[in-house]
């Protein structure tokens, strides 16, 4: 694994409020094809590269394992309980 001090964008968080309804979400680059990011400026940040978990670690990850770890830690940090059927596949 190669470590540098240059920060890179690995995820995005979003909140939308419309007509008294809020929607929240996040995108986490796990095993993403980063070539598409060469054609855009993600979140308007010009001076940061985009990265993914597999690029940072040097190997592809099992998505089911990543989802389980993200869910478990989300529940712990926010004292919440996620409904498994509500999570996207």
Which one of the listed residues 12, 27, 41, 43 is annotated catalytic?
43
DSSP class of residue 18 equals E
Coil, strand or helix: which one is 72? helix
Query: In a 10 Å sphere around its CB, with 0-12 CB exposed, 13-18 middle and 19+ buried, how is residue 52 labelled?
Result: buried
CA nearest to 55, candidates 21, 29, 79 = 29
Whether 17 is a known active-site residue: answer: no
Catalytic residue positions? 43
């Amino acid at each position: 694994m190669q470590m540098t001090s240059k920060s890179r964008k690995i995820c995005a968080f979003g909140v939308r409020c419309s007509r008294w309804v809020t929607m929240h979400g996040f995108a986490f680059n796990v095993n993403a094809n980063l070539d598409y990011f060469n054609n855009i400026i993600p979140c308007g940040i010009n001076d940061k590269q985009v990265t993914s978990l597999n690029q940072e670690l040097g190997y592809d990850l099992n998505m089911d394992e990543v989802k389980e770890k993200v869910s478990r830690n989300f529940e712990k940090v926010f004292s919440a309980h996620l409904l498994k059927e509500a999570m996207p596949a």
